[in-house]
Amino acid sequence: MKVVVTGAGGYMGRYVVRELLARGHEVTAVDLHYKEVDSRAAYSDVKIFSGDKDICAQLGNPDVCIHLAWQDGFIHNSTKHMENLSSHFLFLKNMIEGGCKKIAVMGTMHEVGFWEGCVTADTPCRPLSQYGVAKNALRQALLLLGEKEGADIFWLRAFYILGDDSRNSSIFTKLLEAEEIGKKEFPFTTGENQYDFISIKELARQIVAASTQTEYTGIINVCSGKPVSLKDKVNEFIAEKGLHITLKYGAFPERPYDSKIIYGDNTIIQKILEAEEKA
């Protein structure tokens, strides 16, 4: 397939481009910079938020658009999320109307807000951050548009992403930073909360698999489907990286808006991956 990837130079984009190329797809990468983007991809300087109605033609009339571009993704209460919302919708609307009938967009568990237990496609969403509100609104508007225009919309909802940890702002990044400056102790919560963790490479595999199939549309959780305590995952990370740092449990209280346990229902993505293996 001919696939356009926006945000191709970002945290997820570089891995998604690589995975697409490994599967033999023709990739056009779109971003403001291309450092570390696989050189086998074609690079495009098309301004995706120009509002141009012929944006699909400008991008080579792709079969699939994987839209990962998102400003301030790690700053959940940035005003940019809502300020940019209409630009995201207009770009995707123009892509669909221009003939690209397969649109995959990166979603997030932050659309859901506070929830205890398994998140399914039907779980009600009450987002608690500007990031979650904007993503939730884009999903709702895009699914309505897709139904009207006869387009396949793949809303790929991710949870907690690990790997390439120097490039994000997670606790794993902060552990690496603390180790680098020689700290021996790291202030921590109890670590009892349980989350759905996935490596960036596995996430890229799931994103590509979900975006290039035809059987399932709508919300697709791209996740492990397994809740793991933050304490266990952090200790595993410390051991794997050989860090010389000790966790100081209980130094910080649990945040009242953090779920005790939250994870994704991975039934659909597992069916997609199993179908791929049989093909």
Catalytic residue positions, numbered: 131
Backbone angles phi, psi at 187, to 5 degrees: -65, 135
- Rounded-to-integer distance, Cα 47 and Cα 90, Å: 13
| C-beta separation of 65 from 92 below 8 A | yes
Nearest to 202 by CA among 19, 11, 13, 10: 19
- Rounded-to-integer distance, Cα 199 and Cα 130, Å: 25
Return the SS3 of 1: coil
DSSP assignments along 173-239, one per residue: HHHHHHHHTT-SEEE------EEEEEEHHHHHHHHHHHHT-SS--EEEEES---EEEHHHHHHHHHH
Residue 229 pairs in a beta bridge with 194
